[in-house]
Every structure is written in C-alpha cells, then in structure tokens.
Amino acid sequence: MNEKQQSRSKKLHDLSLLLKKNKCSTAYSKSAASSGVSWPDANDSDCSNKQKQIDSTIDAVKSALAGFGVLAPTSSQQQVWNRSIPSTLYQTPKCTPALTTIMPLSRVPPGAKICGQQPSNNDGNADVLVEVWKHSLTSNEESGNQAAGDVQHRPLQGNLSSKLSEYTRGTMGVRRPFRPGGMDDDDDEYQDDDIKEDIATTVESKYLSEEAVTNARRALTLGSKKAWEEGILITSPPGVSFRVGLSYDDVFTDGDNLEMVDNSGGDDEDGDELAAKVAALSMDDDVGTAATFAGNAFAVPSSTIWDKKIFDDDSLFGESTSGSESDSEESEDDNIEEEGNDDLETSEVAEEKPPAKEPEFLSPEDEVDSLLAEMKHTLQSPIDRAMAEKKVSTSIHPNLSTGSSDDQKNTKNRKSWAVTDYIPLTDDADFHTLCPNPALTFPFELDDFQKQAILRLEKRQCVFLAAHTSAGKTVCAEYAVALAKKHCTRAIYTSPIKALSNQKYRDFRSKFGEDVGLITGDMQIGADGSCLIMTTEILRSMLYRGADLIRDIEWVIFDEVHYINDSERGVVWEEVIIMLPEYVNMIFLSATTPNTIEFSEWIGRTKRKPVHVIRTNYRPVPLSHHLWAGHKMHKIMEGKQGFDSKGYAAASKALLPASARAKVDAKSNKGGSKANTTTGKQSSVPGKPATGSKLTSWQQQGTKQDWISLTRHLEKEGLMPTVTFSFSKKKCEEIANQLRSLDLNTAAERNLVQSFAIQTVARLSPKDQILPQVVNTVEMVKRGVGVHHGGLLPILKEMVEILFSRNLIKILFATETFAMGVNMPARSVVFNAIRKHDGVQFRELQPGEYVQMAGRAGRRGLDTVGTVVLCCFGDHPPPQTMLKNMLTGSSTKLQSQFRLTYTMILNLLRVEDMSVEGMIKRSFSEFATQRALTNNEYPKLLTRGTKTLAKLDEEFKHDVDSRIGAEDIEEYYASSSNVLSSAKELLCYILSSGGTGGGALVAGRLVLVTSARKHGYVRAPAVVLKPPTPSSNISSASSNESDGIVCIVLLPQSYTSVKDKEGEPVLGDLNYVGLQKDRFYVIHELSLDEILLVSDKKCKIDSNVLLKEKSSSMSIRRGALGNPFAGARSMQRREADDPFAGMNARGKKNDDTSRNKPSVSQETQVVDDVVTFLMNSEETELQTGLGVLDLRDCAKNMHQGNSAVEFGAAYARYEQNITLLRHFRSHYHPILEIHYKVVDRREILRSRVRTLRKLLSNESLQLFPDFLQRKALLQTLGYVDENDTVCLKGRVACEVNTCEGLIVTEMVFGGLLSELEPTEIVAALSALIFQEKTDEEFDSELPERLVASCNGMKAIALDLGQRQKDHGLPVDPLEYCATSLKMGLVHVVYEWACGVPFSSICELTDVQEGSIVRCITRLDELCREVRNCARVVGNPTLYRKMEMASEAIKRDIVFASSLYVS
C-alpha cells in the first residue's frame, strides 16, 4: 500500500480505538444500530466475546470501505464501486458558527427544539444538559425576518445570549454561560440575596464593568441588528470566521485598535504571509490551541471565500406592474424599507450626541442646497458635468463635494462578474496534476486555452470561450458532455441552425455512443439521453412550458453565441440565458468579439455567478490574404503582419490594360526612385478620363473564362479543397454551371462519389430521383464541384457536406450560412464579392463576418497556412481603405436585439418566477443602464432626499402662522413656474435667429427676473446691459446654464450688506453689489429661464459705464465650450493687440482715455438714474402692473409654415399666465423672496426625488412604454383581463411560436379555419410561414373558400395592425400585413397537400426547391401548434382536421430522413 492508504488505515485504527472507549455510549449504540452494525452489550461480562464482536465489526467496516473504493481491497475481496475519491474528503471543512448550543433541560424555553431524543431526568437535583438548535431559540418574529441563506454569511443568526457569552469570555459568562454576561432577570427565581452579591462581585471584575452589563441589556432591548448598527454588538462580517474569537475590547470598544487586513491587492507581502497563517489555522484540527495573529480576528483572506456580497449590488429587482412578481422580490422591497427605517432611527440616535465642533455643521438651508447640488451633479450627463466643472462659479454657496472621486474609487474596487484570471500551470502543478481523473481524454495535446476551460469545467464554473474559427472550441463542449455523463445529469447543446444540430448529432453520437439525443421541430431521437442537441428556440419552449427535463440539466452549451446579433432570432438567446435556473452551468462558445467582458459581465450579473472569460487570438493555422488580379495572386497580408501596400499596388497594376500598363512601366523606369515613393497609391491611367466608373468597377463579376482560370490555378498550386463564398443563391448555381468542362476528381474519387450519391438518391421516390436539382447536383459532385445554399434540398445539402468533409469535392460554391458553425475546413477560401445584402441594403462585409468565413481556410494538422483569395474581375481592386478595415478592423460587437413579442408577454404573465419587467431589466439592452444605477449613489440619494423632503413638508405645515399675507405661496409658485417656462420658450424661439430677438432683449430693456434660490430675489426689476451673444443663444435652447444676458437687478428691501473683502468686484464687474438711494443693486449674468416678464418699457442707459468690456469676456470663454470659434477675434478687435497702441502721434495730445473714461460724478448719475427707474418700475408693478411687450411683433419675420399659429397660441398662454400670477396675494408681499425661496427649495427637491424614483423604477426601462402599449392591446382584444390574468385567447396564443400568434388566434376564434378542408387549411397557413418575395396573385384553380380565407387573413392582419397603431405602437397596418402574410406558396402547398408530385409543384413557382421544402417542414410544426390551440379551445373538429392536414403534407422528398440521423 502507498503512503496515503497507510495513513487511511492508521486513521481507521485510531477510530476503532476511539469507538472502543465509547462503546457504552447510548448515542453511539443507537447510531450503530441504525447503520446495521451490532455493538456488544454494555452489561456483558464476557470480555473475550466483546473483543470478538468488536473485531468482527471493525472487519465489516473495513470490508465495506474497501468495497466502495475508500480502502484498497485485499486479494480475497472485490471492489464493487470503483470511483475516484473526492479531494474534499480529506479536507477540514470550513469553520462555521455552531448550529446548536448546550444548555440545561430546565432552561429550555417553550417551543425550542432539542437535537436528538429528549433524555429523562432521573436525578432530581442534577440538571441534564441537552443539545438545542439555535434557530429555535429565537422568537418567531425575529426568525421570520431573517433571510434564509448560508450560515456563514448571516451577520447574526441564533440566540443573542449565546453570542454574547461566546464573545465576551467574562467570569460571569463562565459561571452562567446560558445568560448574557451572567445577567439575571427580574424573575422571582433570581432575587436571592446570595445571587445578587455574586453579581455585584462579578461586575467589579476586570472583565465586566457596569457599562458592559448596561450595553448587554441595551443590546437585548434593541435587538441584534440595531445593536450592531449602534456599535454595541460586534458581529462577524459576511465571509469572516471567528476561529480565533473576540476579546472584551473587540466587542465593547470603538475598534480603533483593530486593523482590517485587505488582501485583495496581492502586493502586500505581510498580508500574504498573514493569509497563509490563517489558511494554515483553518486546517488545524485543534481549535482550542489556535493562536491570535497580531491581535486581529478579522484577518481572513477574502480570496478564499466567495460571497455574492463582494460583487456590486443588483438593482434588477423592483416593483412590478404586471401583477406576476415573485414573493422574493416583494420580500426584498420589504427589506429595503426596513433598512431605511433602521437608518432613520440610527441617524436620530446619532443626532442626540452633541457635536464636537459647531462650525462644521451647515444650516438647514445649506444642507438642502448641498443635497440639491449633489443630486444635480449625479443626474447630469458626463458632457454636461464636464461643462459645468469648467464654468466659473458665481454662487455664494461654498464648493460642494459631489463624491465623484468616491465613485471612481468604488468603480475601481468593484468586483466584476467577468473573471479573466487564469489558473497557473507550472511543472509541479501541471494540467494532469490538477485534473488527475479527467472525464474525457483526447488523442492530442490540448492548447492552453482548452486546458483552462477544462479546469474551470471541473470546478463547475461558467465559461465564456472566445476563439477564432477552427481553433478547437468544440473540445470544451465535448468535455462538458462527458462531465454530465459522468455525473448522471444532462447537457444541452444549442445551435443557431438546424443543419448544425444535425451535424453535431452525428459527431457526438460517434464519440459518446447512443446516449446522445436530437430534438428538432419535426423529430425527436433519444430524448432520454444525457446529451441533447437542439436549437435555441426548442430550449426556450421547454423553459416556458416548465418541462421536467430542465430539472436534470447541469450544462447548457451555447454554440456560436455571436448569433445573438441576429435581428430576428437574437432575442431567443437572451430569453434562454435569463430564464435558465440558477443551478445550471453555462458554456458560451463564440468567435472573437471586442466586448466579451461586457457580455460576460451581463451574464454573471443576471445569473448571480461569476463567468470565467477565456479569450485567445491564437489561430492554429495562420491565414494568408491575396488579391486575384491579372490571373495571378498578389499577397496583401499574412498572419499578424500589417497590410502590404506593395501587393495592393501590384494588383492594381495587373488590372490595367496592356497599353496603359506599358506606359506606367515606362514612366516608372524614367522616373527612377521617384516612382517608388508612391507606394500604396494606385497608378493613374494616362489618357483615361476621370469618371465615376472607378468607384464601382471593382464590383464586376467574373466571366466563365475567369473562373476556369482561377480554378485551374488553385488546382495547380495545390490549394484545394476550396470554399468559394458568394452571397447569392443564383450566383452560386451560375458559377458552378460555368465549370461543367472541368473534372477535378480522379477515377477512384469519382467512383466513391458515385456510390455515395446512389445510396443517397435511393432514399427518394422514383419520381423525386429525376428532379432537375437532384440530377444536376449528382452530376456536379462527380466532377468534384458542389453547391451549398438555402435553396438546395436538405438531403442534397447533407450529401454535399459529407462529400466535402471526405475531400471528394474540390471546389464548393456556398453562401454565408456554410460558415455558421459547420465544421468543414478547407485548404483555401475564395470570395466572389465583398458586398452583401443584409435584408435592408447592400453593404460591404464587416470585419467579423469576413473573419468568420475566412477562418474556414486552413486544416489543422494538414496545412501550414490557410489561403484566402479575394477576386478582382474589374479594372480596379476594391478601395485600399475598405480592404484594410475588413482585414484588420475589430470584430463586430455583441449587441442586444431584445424586443418584446406578444408571445413573450403572455408566457411571462402566466409564470410566477419571472415578470415582464424583470425580463426587460435583465436583458442585455438594459445592462448598461442598470449597472449605472447600481454604481451611482441613486438609492442613497433617494433615501436622503425622501427624508429631507418629508422634513421640509412638516416644517412648512408648522410655519403656517409665519406666512400671513402669503397663504397662497404654493399656488403662486406653480403659476410663476408656468410663466418662467412660457417666457423661456418664447425667448428661445425669437433668439434662435441671432441678435436681440427683434429688440426684445436690447440693452436698456426692462425685465422682471426671478432667481430665488440662486440669487435671492423674486419678480425683481432689472435692466438689460448686454444682450445675449449668438453662441449663448444656441446654448439657451438646450441648457439651463448661463446664457450671457447681463442685467442690473434691483435687490429686495430685505437684502443686507456683507462686509467688504479684498478682491471684491467694483462697479463695471459682474456680481458687483452697490448701494444707491438706500437700495442695493447687483450686476448679474442671467439665463433665459430666470426672466419672468419682458416689459414694453426701456431705459436710456450707457452700458459701458455699468459693464466693462473685460467683465463680459467671461461669457466668451464660457461660450467656447459650445462654439469652437467663440474665442476668435474679428478684424476690428485685433487692433487692441497693436504693440503701438499706447503711443501718440507727434503733435497730438493724449486725451482719448480721459475722454472715454467717465468721471465719478457721471458714474454716480448713471447709477442713480437706473436705480430710480428700477424703483419706479417696482412700484408700478405692485400697483397697476407693468405693460408686457408683445413678442409677436418681435417674431414677425421669423415664421415659417404653421409656426406663426403655434407662436401666437404660446404667447396667448404666456399672457394668460401673467394675468393669473398677478391675482395672487403673494405677488404683492413685501418679503415674497423669503417665502418663495422656501417653496422653491422644497419643490426642486421634490422634482429631483421624483426623477430619482423614476430612474429606479420600471418607468426608466427603455421598453417599458412598449410593454404597457402591448399589454393594453392584449386587454382590448381579450387576451388579458384587468388583473393581468391570461384569458382563454391568451392561452391559445401561447401555443403558437412559429409565426404571428395573434393572427392565428383570431383565425381560430373567428371560425376561419373551421369552414375549410384540411388541404385548404394547410395552404392558408403557408402564408404565415413563407418569407420570400414573389408574385402573390391567386390562381384561378384555387377553391373559392381558400381564396376567401386568404382575404379574411389579410383583413385580420390589417385590423390588428390598425389596433396596434391606435395603441401607440409604431406599426403601419399595410406594412404589418405585408410582412406577416406572404401568399407566394399558397397554390404550391395546396397542390402538394392534394397529392401532386414534387416535380409538378416546382413548375408552379420560381421559388427554389429547398425553400419549398423548408416552408412545408415548418408548416408541419405550425399544424401541430394549431392542433394544440384547438385542444385548448375545446374544438375536436378542428383538432382532427389539423391532424389530417399534417398527415397530408408528410410524404416523399419533403420529409426524407436525414443522412446525419439515419
């Protein structure tokens, strides 16, 4: 035996000795008896019999352990269960708080649960000790609020008394460990004088003081949670073990001497050493001898514990409006409310403590302003925030800390769900050491990324594997299947297309045997296997139905996950990822994408588990890219090298005509080295006129001779087999037919192809064997030429794929679908064109698409390099920039295509585990928004804002007596806000053309301004000193910041002066405050939203006296943020920088400055006139009201179209609001600004709280309005009732997943299908399946009932489209009808259902054979869905008709068995 087995035998021997010592124990006897082991009786006097029985028992235990593989079997024994011993068997489990406690039986409270059988108390004087479950000692109310979870992660769970006695270690606690600190209750039992003396003696000890006893009692009164928040009770933080224990100072001191160890950085050597010691301590068996390291009980390495709380909090769960939220979400909301209440109570307790320094606290008004500033900063966009930081602050408030640095710190320290750490592989810990018993071995050496993936799978972790095409990602999928087979669970392999599913079924079946199943829309094979292969849509249907199969799944493999970018089917991937149960591990196989981390972060955050990202740019076979020009190949890039401009220039030259090429050569020889300096530029053709043909000539297609020449060259250079990608089905057929004269196979290969083709065609009926497509394809593959596209019959496509994989097809012309996951590598790849039609328009190939197809070049182990050829058949190659971007550009990002469908909404309304809002929140499209909400301080700000708002509302109600004469201040504020918004709207319009807005804001214009919270005045008269600049006009329309309107404002009478300080502004500067005629005035720069009224009065004023030029330059600098030319100077302004400006001409006196500079008396007179004008205007407004300037006259020459009518209506509302404003008593209050400021501060806070609440609610979801509109439509149609309960029509619509479910449901309930025959039903339903554009005119041979039903389907589609439009959805009824219904194959399907041969129905349409077969195949799936609809409704007649319709189309070539399956 080896050392490990000897050690195990020794431990077993020690165990037997221990059992001998305790053989009289009743508990051990009962445990042994329940296990089938007979122990000797304790009363037996025969020692020899006892010893024999003990020896026989030990031998039986050894035999059992040997049988299970724990001990090595002897020669006479046979191991009945051979398995690897898990490493966790020899590891000491993590220390967690004990679940039970020991206490006297008399002390056990009612309702407490005793562990094991309750012993009988035989001795009346002795109290028997029993083991009691801790959770049963807590009150029902407290235990009900505790969240169920891991014991190690609960802050305080169990009896508070036992916790205190465990942590304090006081003498009283030792004496009476079952009461906190030895404290006595007020019961009569503990009123003995002797006991009281003991208590007094204990309190005076060095371990417990009177303060400690008071704190312990207070902890019991408040409860564990609040006591912990106040600092009275110190508990174990989440993920930290109290192996060492806590001293008295750890519990009842402030914790200043504690040093929290942070091992997250990994750079601190002391921290690493301490972590190693603690790790060694956790493996020590003797807990009592554990030593304290540096006096710190918190030093536990965070890397050894995985706690979900170390990651960012999840904000995905909120209130639902669909009525189907789970109980867990509601409990989370309750917990949030409880935490908020606890915070409030804690803050109230904290406020009772006297402040240390009084100047550190702000006034209540400043606190609210600080909160408003923080909210504004948080809610600002990054651009607006940057602009606001650059602006010069003119506020009287101190600079407020916005917490941006804390946000950056939190973002830096935030753990990511996407883990990129690799497992280090060294000589001592190599792959085979870390994985000694692999579930699957491979006949080749694995690459590093494959080893990393397998090690992660062994740990049951989610993996995202991003690698190039043909790099070997399937190894990870195969290993997951082997793990599921080993664990007796299931693995689901999902693929984007059915062809890939069939191929993977063949590959996996050859590798894993018959334990592999295939589930598609039309067949189920081996549904009980441990590995099931299916499309993603099938898995989604299983999840919605809640199939029993889901409970057995351990792994789900998403192959080609970058298919999530598909606009039509990409949403299916997101649905499946979101709905998969938590216990399912996921594997994602994808091509290289630039945002792999972001996508993995979304997956991990959605599933609440880390996702290990393994990325590699390693390509087993490097690629060499060439241009085919002039019957030659010109290399333009190879491997990771850059783009070769010389090769591109050579290809450009090769495409020139012979005469032009000779002239270029002569010119280059004559020019010598000058011509070589133009590397990378296309040579111009002498004498050829410059036209636009050069831009499109590279798109020309090759002729028959061109393709024959290219094929011969590939054959000569040994570059076959070759895949030629063409983005047109017809073009693939056309090019293949041009090579009829070529025979690329040898005689032996031709015989192999012929024999396989005969076996394939033999599966068809005699009539189908002579189909033109079958005959042409068989003849083509014999010569080594193949075609692969969607229009080919499925059985022919499979025949071509198998022959190509066997190297019996030398050149294959295929569409883009051939590169979608089908494992068919080639020696070289040829691109017929680099432009494709994406369903909307023609465009160039994206880098990701090019890499996906070009990656098929190069067979691992056979080729040293993969060759990629781009055909150039025109006069010029593709533009160089286009080629560079395609060859070296970044791959396509994974983008969400999530959208709401009616079927999704109805299915989610039926289930309880997921709501529609929850699905939207968890989608990839909402990931960035939800993560931003989590990272920001939105929840905390909302809590603070809500509390502050409630406090302000309460204060406002109590201060009602102080608002005599201003009782209607709230209504006045609302009316004033309407006037301010109307004025801003009108002024923005008239200032949009520049200037002063038709004289509205010319210098000297009298306006009323309101800026209560910022500047402290309301409806104050002001005179415009400087009109807005053009740059500020632009900003005024889009921002509420300063717009450069400089005014002199008369301050209210309640304004008090401030002491003079050094550096204060003087007259002529902004923010200058002066005193004239016992009234203060100020020069401020205001924005348009601060102008309350534009009066028709004007004041003659010299603005140069009150406003200096340098002071207005600040606005120019501010405007530079939005206008790049704001700092530019005109020609007139440049003379100010003249170096001779200070010199005078000879004979002239320097009197310019004295003439331009006003005297002190002039300044005083100007200020006096302006202040007098403002005081008179203020008096006029309070008595009769100022006249309002008619802004319609200012905008006469600006109107276009209906803008004059709209502007007139807006101005009418503006006048009406001004009239209403002057009816309030508050308008004439002498200290209006004081009351207005209180309401202004409160309403702004209310608005921002409302904004935060909306951001954190479902209303902030991008698709939430769409959901409400669709749900309203479903309620109108009767699919859902007012309680969001799915009705009968909704349950019928849930059965349809193949096409538009609403149309099918309306057809079923409208009786449209009940009147038709089965052949007519299936023909009508084909309109919902077929997708290609063809002639949709009905043939006269069709039955009238079928034509009428088709017209009825169009009427239903138009009605549904109109209803969707009426509910606000962006749907055009005609477009909706045309998209949902295509009648191109109605006649074809009808004839097929009537029994017409396939060759005959092909003559009825131009649609290719493969498209017809695919339509009929999906039609059979739709027939089964409609049959289920009839079952739900209870229509047996329709049920039987749908069965007959399905049987009518199931025949011959359409449903021929797959070559991969049979």
Given this model, what pLDDT does residue 240 score?
43
DSSP-assigned states of every residue in 1217-1284: HHHHHTTSGGGG-TTHHHHHHHHHHHHHHHHHHHHHHHHTSGGGSTTHHHHHHHHHHHHHHTSB-TT-
**pLDDT tens digits, residue range 386-423?**
444 444 333 333 333 333 444 444 444 557 889 988 88
Given this model, what pLDDT does residue 196 score?
41
Closest-CA residue to 948 (of 372, 398, 378, 230)? 372
Given this model, what pLDDT does residue 1118 score?
38
Contacts 24+ apart (CB under 8 A), 841-846: 844/882, 844/886, 845/886, 846/886, 846/889, 846/892
**Please, are residues 1019 and 1186 in contact by the beta-carbon 8 Å criterion?**
no
Position with higher pLDDT, 1401 vs 190: 1401
The model carries a pTM of: 0.65
The verdict on whether omega for the bond into residue 180 sits within 30 degrees of 0, i.e. cis, is no
Given this model, what pLDDT does residue 1175 score?
92
C-alpha–C-alpha distance, residues 1143 and 1140, integer Å: 5
Given this model, what pLDDT does residue 73 score?
59
Rounded to an integer, what is the distance from CA 295 to the centroid of its chain? 43
**Three-state secondary-structure class, residue 600:** helix
| pLDDT tops 60 at residue 677 | no
Tell me the β-bridge partners of 102: 131
Instruction: Return the top range by mean pLDDT from 428-437, 481-490, 881-890.
Output: 481-490
Rounded to an integer, what is the distance from CA 1429 to the centroid of its chain? 35
| Confidence band for 573, pLDDT divided at 50, 70 and 90 | very high
C-alpha–C-alpha distance, residues 321 and 920, integer Å: 13
Q: Which amino acid is at 1224?
A: F
**Three-state secondary-structure class, residue 1296:** coil
What is the average pLDDT across 1367-1386? Answer: 91
Q: Which amino acid is at 769?
A: Q
Given this model, what pLDDT does residue 517 score?
92
Question: For 776-790, what is the HEC assignment?
Answer: HHHHHHHCCEEEECC
| pLDDT tops 70 at residue 348 | no
| pLDDT tops 80 at residue 255 | no
| pLDDT tops 60 at residue 431 | yes
| pLDDT tops 50 at residue 188 | no
Question: For 1160-1198, what is the HEC assignment?
Answer: HHHHHHHHHHHHHHHHHHHHHHHHCCCCECCHHHHCHHH
| Confidence band for 1434, pLDDT divided at 50, 70 and 90 | very high
Given this model, what pLDDT does residue 1022 score?
93
Given this model, what pLDDT does residue 313 score?
42
| pLDDT tops 80 at residue 45 | no
Closest-CA residue to 662 (of 645, 642, 685, 646)? 685
What is the average pLDDT across 547-558? Answer: 92
Q: Are strands 418-419 and 828-831 parallel, antiparallel or unpaired?
A: unpaired
C-alpha–C-alpha distance, residues 1111 and 1094, integer Å: 24
Backbone φ and ψ for 641, nearest 5 degrees, come out as: -75, 165
**Three-state secondary-structure class, residue 466:** strand
Given this model, what pLDDT does residue 258 score?
39
Given this model, what pLDDT does residue 686 score?
37
**pLDDT tens digits, residue range 703-714?**
889 999 999 999
**Please, are residues 525 and 1461 in contact by the beta-carbon 8 Å criterion?**
yes
Q: Where does residue 676 rank: exposed (0-12), middle (13-18), buried (19+ CB within 10 A)? A: exposed
C-alpha–C-alpha distance, residues 1071 and 32, integer Å: 92
The pair of structure tokens assigned to 377 is 């900063």
| pLDDT tops 50 at residue 605 | yes
C-alpha–C-alpha distance, residues 1051 and 1017, integer Å: 6
| Confidence band for 175, pLDDT divided at 50, 70 and 90 | very low
C-alpha–C-alpha distance, residues 336 and 1257, integer Å: 14
| pLDDT tops 50 at residue 305 | no
| pLDDT tops 70 at residue 41 | no
Position with higher pLDDT, 1021 vs 1054: 1021
Buried b (16+ CB within 10 A) or exposed e, 1280-1306: beeebebbebbbbbbbbbbbbbbbbbb
**Three-state secondary-structure class, residue 1139:** coil
Least confident among 401-410, 902-911, 1272-1281, 1421-1430: 401-410
| Dihedral sign of CA atoms 924, 926, 929, 934 in order | negative
**pLDDT tens digits, residue range 719-755?**
999 999 998 888 999 999 999 999 999 999 999 999 9
What is the average pLDDT across 760-769? Answer: 90
Given this model, what pLDDT does residue 84 score?
53
Question: For 1003-1054, what is the HEC assignment?
Answer: CCEEEEEEEHHHHCEEEEEEEEEECCCHHHHHHHHHCCCCCCEEEEEECCCC
Rounded (to 5) percent helix, strand, coil in the chain: 50, 10, 40
- Residue pointed to by tokens 């109307």: 982
User: What's the CA angle centered on 773, arms 769 and 774, to 5 degrees?
Assistant: 35
| pLDDT tops 70 at residue 1430 | yes
Secondary structure E strands in 112-236: 129-133
The H-or-E segment that residue 758 falls in is: helix 747-761
Position with higher pLDDT, 1101 vs 996: 1101
Question: CA distances (Å), 1136 to each of 249, 297, 764, 1105, in order?
Answer: 74, 73, 95, 19
Given this model, what pLDDT does residue 332 score?
41
Given this model, what pLDDT does residue 1123 score?
41
| pLDDT tops 50 at residue 341 | no
Buried b (16+ CB within 10 A) or exposed e, 1326-1357: bbbbbeeeeeeeeeeebeeebbebbebbbebb
**Please, are residues 1410 and 790 in contact by the beta-carbon 8 Å criterion?**
yes
Position with higher pLDDT, 1096 vs 120: 1096
**Please, are residues 707 and 744 in contact by the beta-carbon 8 Å criterion?**
no
Given this model, what pLDDT does residue 995 score?
65
Given this model, what pLDDT does residue 18 score?
57
**Please, are residues 1079 and 1053 in contact by the beta-carbon 8 Å criterion?**
yes
Tell me the β-bridge partners of 1091: 1009
**pLDDT tens digits, residue range 506-545?**
889 989 988 999 998 778 888 888 999 998 999 998 998 8
What is the average pLDDT across 611-627? Answer: 89
Q: Which amino acid is at 600?
A: S
| pLDDT tops 60 at residue 1203 | yes
Given this model, what pLDDT does residue 992 score?
78
**pLDDT tens digits, residue range 1169-1186?**
889 999 999 999 998 889
**Please, are residues 1268 and 1276 in contact by the beta-carbon 8 Å criterion?**
no
| pLDDT tops 60 at residue 1145 | no
Least confident among 35-39, 82-86, 273-277, 1093-1097: 273-277
Buried b (16+ CB within 10 A) or exposed e, 754-789: eebbeebbeebeeebeebebbebbbebbbbbbbbbb
Question: CA distances (Å), 1321 to each of 1073, 1313, 1348, in order?
Answer: 86, 6, 12
Given this model, what pLDDT does residue 676 score?
44
**Please, are residues 237 and 247 in contact by the beta-carbon 8 Å criterion?**
no
What is the average pLDDT across 327-346? Answer: 39
Of all residues in the chain, what percent carry a pLDDT higher than 90?
27
The H-or-E segment that residue 1345 falls in is: helix 1344-1366
C-alpha–C-alpha distance, residues 218 and 214, integer Å: 6
**Please, are residues 900 and 1270 in contact by the beta-carbon 8 Å criterion?**
yes
Given this model, what pLDDT does residue 1059 score?
55
Given this model, what pLDDT does residue 17 score?
62
Given this model, what pLDDT does residue 1126 score?
38
Secondary structure E strands in 1028-1162: 1045-1050, 1073-1076, 1079-1086, 1091-1098
Q: Are strands 129-133 and 100-104 parallel, antiparallel or unpaired?
A: antiparallel
The overall average pLDDT reported for the chain is: 74
**Please, are residues 244 and 277 in contact by the beta-carbon 8 Å criterion?**
no
Position with higher pLDDT, 112 vs 886: 886
What is the average pLDDT across 889-907? Answer: 89
What is the average pLDDT across 300-323? Answer: 40
| Confidence band for 870, pLDDT divided at 50, 70 and 90 | very high
C-alpha–C-alpha distance, residues 745 and 753, integer Å: 9
| pLDDT tops 60 at residue 920 | yes
Q: Which amino acid is at 1238?
A: V
Closest-CA residue to 1033 (of 932, 1109, 1122, 937)? 1122
What is the average pLDDT across 1060-1064? Answer: 59
| Confidence band for 610, pLDDT divided at 50, 70 and 90 | very high
**pLDDT tens digits, residue range 788-837?**
988 899 899 989 999 998 999 999 999 888 877 567 788 999 999 888 88
Given this model, what pLDDT does residue 127 score?
65
